[in-house]
Amino acid sequence: MQEQIFKILTQNEFTLTIFPMSKNILIINGPNLNFLGRPEMSIYGKETLADLHSIIYQWITDQEWQARFFQSNSEGEIIDYIQNNFEWADGMVINPAAFSHTSIAIYDCIKSISLPSIEVHLSNIYHREEFRRTSITGLACKKVIAGLGVQGYIEVLEDLKKILK
């Protein structure tokens, strides 16, 4: 057995399947979402980013899937992270936060990889200020889910599960 494992591990190309139905998901959160849970951010609910991550983590482990979590306040860092990780992933959940309304660069980044991606917003961007009503980045995604709070991320994952079947 030891010998067999050693043989496989020393080949320069091999696939290691732990859970045959497993999927790899990128969970990306944009600027200011590291401040979730602060009283000033109550429009987004009570949960902190750590709470949000642990709710998602629970769902991911229940499915026997794997996820990589990333939050950044910087547009370039979000693009670099997606470019460096999309080959590992089967799908992406992204809340580009305020960059949703401004970032052609993140739109181009999502468009340049063929990774099933769904955008999520905690608040209902369509019922807030005028400047939030258009999501540029959402146009590069399969769908935008908004206004369901943290539950929106789970809805997105359920949708990805159907897409990735």
**Residue numbers annotated as active site:** 44, 121
For residue 28, what are the β-bridge partners?
Answer: 70, 94
Q: Which of 71, 72, 95, 103 binds ligand DQA (CB under 6 A)?
A: 95
Binding flag, residue 53, ligand DQA (CB under 6 A): no
Question: Which of 158, 96, 154, 91 shows the shortest CA–CA distance to 121?
Answer: 96
Pairing of strands 24-29, 117-121: unpaired
Cβ(89)–Cβ(69) below 8 Å: no
**Of the ranges 45-53, 58-66, 75-83, 90-98, which one interacts with ligand DQA (CB under 6 A)?**
90-98
Binding flag, residue 143, ligand DQA (CB under 6 A): no
String marking each residue 110-139 x if it binds ligand DQA according to CB under 6 A: -----------xxx-x------x-------
DSSP H or E segment with residue 75 = helix 75-85
**Of the ranges 14-22, 66-74, 95-103, 153-161, which one interacts with ligand DQA (CB under 6 A)?**
95-103
Cα 55 to Cα 17, 118, 135, 149, 153: the distances in Å are 25, 18, 25, 12, 9
Give the interface with ligand DQA as residue ranges (CB under 6 A). 32, 44, 95, 97-98, 100, 121-123, 125, 132
